Amino acid sequence: MSERFYLAERIDGRSAVLQGEEARHLAAVMRARPGDRVVLFDGHGLEFTAEIAAIGKHSVALEIVERREIDRELAFELTLAVALPKGERQKWLVEKLTELGVTRLIPLSTERGVAQPTDAALDRLRRTVIEASKQCGRNRLLEVASPVTAKDLFAAPTRGTVRLVADSQGAALKSVVAPGVPCVATIGPEGGFAPGELQLAAERGWTAVSLGPRILRVETAAIGLAACLVLH
């Protein structure tokens, strides 16, 4: 796949302008020249072949040569609600969930969890989604949603959705997964879900699933569970 560049505005005309980091990457890092062709995507499902028309100090103007509807999304909607780990592990998690095709990530606030990400931290994760999408060829972005509490999520009504809570005491995953329907899967914090959270989830019909006899770190559990659901 040729080098891909992301444009935050929807591309619907014959031209487009890259600015900021994407323009700098194309002009300064890739040393592109007028006449060179690149692939653009705007996160709405299309990708475009575009030819560089002009390179400015902080922007690159392009002419759209071809537009293609290329769907690299999952056949079902997959949401991961995760009590996020800290620092680089958080970024790594988001990169891998993007590659796996996860539709949405909800940062989960739990009784035993560490502090929730700030708006600035969420923006950094959204930037990670873009970088991973450029690399893996996704034309729609994984949505990084606003944080919710585990109790609110477990109590919310959801119809026609498989709802899973990762818990080492749960049933073997393969016995409960119905592939191809929307799914919300939750992963607890390093300290685990509190008993009251697990009880509420059970009362509201969430299915506890085990990922095996070893205790996995948050990001391993999230990626492992997502991979099982996606590659099933």
Residue closer to ligand SAM (CB basis): 191 or 205 = 191
Task: Verify binding: residue 86, ligand SAM, rule CB under 6 A.
Answer: no
* Alpha-carbon distance values, 23 to 19, 40, 113, 207 (Å): 5, 12, 38, 46
Report how far residue 188's alpha carbon sits from residue 197's, in angstroms, rounded to the nearest whole number: 10
**Interface segment toward ligand SAM; rule CB under 6 A; list 46-54, 87-95, 98-106, 187-195:** 187-195
Structure token digits, residue 22: 């994407």
Among 39, 166, 183, 200, binds ligand SAM (CB under 6 A): 166
* Cβ-closest position to ligand SAM: 188
Report in angstroms how near the CB of residue 80 gets to ligand SAM at its nearest: 11
Task: Verify binding: residue 168, ligand SAM, rule CB under 6 A.
Answer: yes
6 and 133 Cβ atoms separated by less than 8 Å = yes
Among 218, 223, 226, 230, binds ligand SAM (CB under 6 A): 218
Among 74, 176, 216, 228, binds ligand SAM (CB under 6 A): 216
Report how far residue 108's alpha carbon sits from residue 169's, in angstroms, rounded to the nearest whole number: 20
Per-residue DSSP letter, 118: P
Report in angstroms how near the CB of residue 187 gets to ligand SAM at its nearest: 4
Residue closer to ligand SAM (CB basis): 48 or 206 = 206
Task: Verify binding: residue 180, ligand SAM, rule CB under 6 A.
Answer: no
Spacing of C-alpha 163 from chain mean position: 18
